[in-house]
Structure 1
Amino acid sequence: MACTSCGVGTNEDGTPKGCGSKGSCNTGACNKRSAYDWLSNLGIDDPYANDIVEVSFNDGTTQCFCHAPAEFDLHTGDNVVVEDEKGYDVGRITLSGDLVRLQMKKKKVREDKVTQMIIRRANLRDMEKLAEVRELQKPTMIQARVIARQNHMKMKVSDIEYRGDGKKITIYYTSDDRVDFRQIVRAFSHQFRVKVEMRQIGPRQETARLGGIGTCGRELCCSTWLSDFNAVNTSAARYQNLAINNAKLSGQCGRLKCCLNYELDTYMEALEVFPKKADRIKTHAGLAILIKTDIFKGIMYYTYKDNRGLLYPIPVEKVHEMQKLNKAGDMPADLQSAQLVVKEADDVFGYEDVTGAIELPAEKRSKRRNKKSGGGGSGGGRSARSSRSRGKSDAGDSGKQETSAKATPATEGGDKPKNTRSRKRPARGAGKPRAEGGDSGNQSKSGDQSKSSGSSGRRKKRTPRGKKKPE
């Protein structure tokens, strides 16, 4: 099995040599951004034959024009070996014949400036050597970034390209400032043991080399078919009535998207029909100001300056008439008389009211119960935290005094008080009769104390043993 684009053989696991898992070739033979010759596979001879051909390297990221000797009988798609300074490189012919002249005219390259020569066709050993050096590009780029950081260089190494013979590497980097890379070139040469060439590129060229997916969901234009970059201004977005939002108008390179220029000519032709300086129109009803414009429908939306509640769609022809009245010193009555009348469609689809037709079952909610605090000796009003316990404790306050008053006969019969919620203990001495011969005043005093303690819900302070109560 071989690559469908460059014909490289297969590895031990069956994958093409130098080709990625997604079918993209990394050998430099497959080209993306060059012009495509649609007549190359039809076997039609070019009447304007030329010995100069276009050769692309490293998956089409670099192109050059080379002389092709007639004895090699080379055609578009052939893998060739091109001589270079003290070495050679392996590429693929992407253009031949009269199309090369047009391409050279576009890139402003004269024929007398073409100096490189094709040595021979690339054999299987050349393609295997190219695949080996392409596999070294990623680890070499990681090491180059480490060296640049160790030398505190304000630069970003974006890509590295090996020459076909593996004796030279080209390091592409981006930087906002001018970089003095004399010291770092020595570090690179000492580390990689090859000839090093440094090239500074811009953010657009960096994105074109790395590739990616755009906001449209397709592969970036600059990494597939776009060969040159044109200037893009914010005026292109204004002509297309786009909001000036840098986050939406910028591409992955951080610059304005190149696709803003694709439909600009169509918008410019459509805007020729629209009137100039039509932002304000005077009417008897008030001053009208322009809010928005629908370019392809030919409608301009106006509203009153003092009352911006309604928008009036006015055709372009009506706006021209209103402008002529203003120039003549007259004013139209209002905007409503000149607005576009939209006819409603006969088949109006209504919506059925399904209120009450579909009933959902009631949602069952679990009742959450708040736990009480563990203070057993305190009263019911202080220990209860939930609203339900508070309500019951308030309702039981009226019967507290009666319960404490009846505590004496209940304890004499051996029964315990049934007030389990508050867990009140009877006052000391309230359930036991005083000794005979005691003071009657003390009994009444102890009874009053038991009533007061029962009504307040607080325990009486106990006196320590061995001490008499204060009289």
Structure 2
Amino acid sequence: MTPEILEVQFKGNKKEHYFNPKNIKVKPGDYVIVEADKGIDLGCVTKIGRLVALSEIRSEPKNLIRKAGKEDLKHLEENRKKEALAFIVGREKIKKHNLNMKLVDVEYQYDQNKLTFYFTSDRRVDFRELVKDLAAKYRTRIELRQIGVRDEARRLGGLGVCGLPLCCTTFMKHFDPISTQMAKEQNLPLNTCKLTGTCGRLKCCLAFEKDFYEQSQKNFPPLDAILQTERGKAKVEKIDIFHDTVYLRYNNDEAPEPVRLDEIKYSQISDKTPA
């Protein structure tokens, strides 16, 4: 029988799945000790049971060892203080080695067997000498991990313009490609300030309703198309998929006229206005 699977969250909104072979009674919000890369780590349970079964599990889960106690949480707090100091040291070392990289975060494995430095850079970085320098100071395994700007936003967290926590810190498991075409399909103004998120890239939420817009727009004539209607030729200025309305501009009219989609009787002359 397959043991229960848990979802555990670590620093930087990193989430992993773990088996519970000992059937230890845990609930969301409990801190637990789990198997890690050549050691153990401490995280917080976020999901259990069927909620986890519905998630996408990409790798073989390691095992839950036990629930965390007061001493474990105290040790975790000490690690956080050491990480803050290591961040300052890391930035100084980067400057010393004159490397083109931005340090984002530092994370100790619970047992301090590994210290990870997360950074962003717009190019490949040779950080071998930096690793040697850091290893000599901290006497533990050093890992430098280059991440993207969207991963940076996930690690640091924050609020979106909607006022809610960033989607990448809550329910998103991976990043999908986003393009300005998605904004065009949703009739959004191509305003960079409004379309970009905290990370400086196009907002992930542009993709959430992509399928809905694609299906809905199949019922409408294309934008800028020239239609032959009962009143004469008209150009499609705008469509409103939520109210099933098409805005048509007839010759010499100052403003487009809203017409219900089911009230339009037309034949399409061309896909766009002739040049």
How does the TM-score come out when normalised to structure 1?
0.51
Structure 1 SS opposite 2:266: helix
Structure 1 residue 155 displacement after superposition: 1.0
Structure 1 residue 99 displacement after superposition: 4.2
Question: Residue 315 in 1 paired to residue 260 in 2?
Answer: yes
Q: Report the RMSD for the aligned CA atoms in angstroms.
A: 2.9
State the AA in 1 paired with 2:267: Q
Q: Which residue of 2 aligns with 1:83?
A: 35
User: 2: CA distance between counterparts of 1:295 and 1:315?
Assistant: 10
Deviations 1:413-443 (A, max 9, x none): xxxxxxxxxxxxxxxxxxxxxxxxxxxxxxx
Structure 1 residue 236 displacement after superposition: 1.8
Structure 1 residue 268 displacement after superposition: 3.3
User: 2: CA distance between counterparts of 1:240 and 1:260?
Assistant: 9
User: 1: CA distance between counterparts of 2:134 and 2:217?
Assistant: 56
167 and 275 in structure 1: CA distance in 2 versus 1, 3 angstrom threshold: same
322 and 142 in structure 1: CA distance in 2 versus 1, 3 angstrom threshold: same
Farther-moved stretch of structure 1 (89-98 vs 292-301): 89-98
Structure 1 residue 65 displacement after superposition: 3.1
Q: Is the 8 A contact 2:236 2:247 kept in 1?
A: yes
Equivalence map 1:23-422=2 (5 Å): 50-58=3-11, 61-70=13-22, 73-77=24-28, 78-103=30-55, 106-109=56-59, 113-114=60-61, 116-276=62-222, 279-282=225-228, 288-304=234-250, 307=252, 309-319=254-264, 321-323=265-267
Structure 1 residue 308 displacement after superposition: 5.3
Structure 2 SS opposite 1:117: strand
Structure 1 residue 142 displacement after superposition: 2.1
User: 2: CA distance between counterparts of 1:216 and 1:138?
Assistant: 30
97 and 242 in structure 1: CA distance in 2 versus 1, 3 angstrom threshold: closer
Structure 1 residue 197 displacement after superposition: 0.8
125 and 272 in structure 1: CA distance in 2 versus 1, 3 angstrom threshold: same
Structure 2 SS opposite 1:323: strand
Structure 1 residue 50 displacement after superposition: 1.8
User: 2: CA distance between counterparts of 1:192 and 1:274?
Assistant: 64
314 and 102 in structure 1: CA distance in 2 versus 1, 3 angstrom threshold: closer
91 and 241 in structure 1: CA distance in 2 versus 1, 3 angstrom threshold: same
How does the TM-score come out when normalised to structure 2?
0.84
Could you tell me which runs of 5 or more consecutive residues in structure 1 were left unpaired when the two chains were aligned.
1-47, 328-471
Structure 1 residue 51 displacement after superposition: 4.6
User: 1: CA distance between counterparts of 2:242 and 2:15?
Assistant: 41
Structure 1 residue 160 displacement after superposition: 0.8
Structure 1 SS opposite 2:107: strand
Q: Is the 8 A contact 2:220 2:239 kept in 1?
A: no
State the AA in 2 paired with 1:315: R
User: 2: CA distance between counterparts of 1:83 and 1:283?
Assistant: 69
User: 1: CA distance between counterparts of 2:51 and 2:245?
Assistant: 46
Q: Which residue of 2 aligns with 1:332?
A: none
State the AA in 2 paired with 1:69: P
Structure 1 residue 206 displacement after superposition: 0.6
Structure 2 SS opposite 1:118: strand
Deviations 1:360-419 (A, max 9, x none): xxxxxxxxxxxxxxxxxxxxxxxxxxxxxxxxxxxxxxxxxxxxxxxxxxxxxxxxxxxx
Q: Is the 8 A contact 1:270 1:296 kept in 2?
A: no
Q: Is the 8 A contact 2:10 2:43 kept in 1?
A: yes
Deviations 1:91-125 (A, max 9, x none): 2333443444433xx2333xxx34x3333332222
89 and 313 in structure 1: CA distance in 2 versus 1, 3 angstrom threshold: closer
Structure 1 vs Structure 2: percent identity of aligned residues? 36
Q: Is the 8 A contact 2:185 2:213 kept in 1?
A: yes
Q: Which residue of 2 aligns with 1:33?
A: none
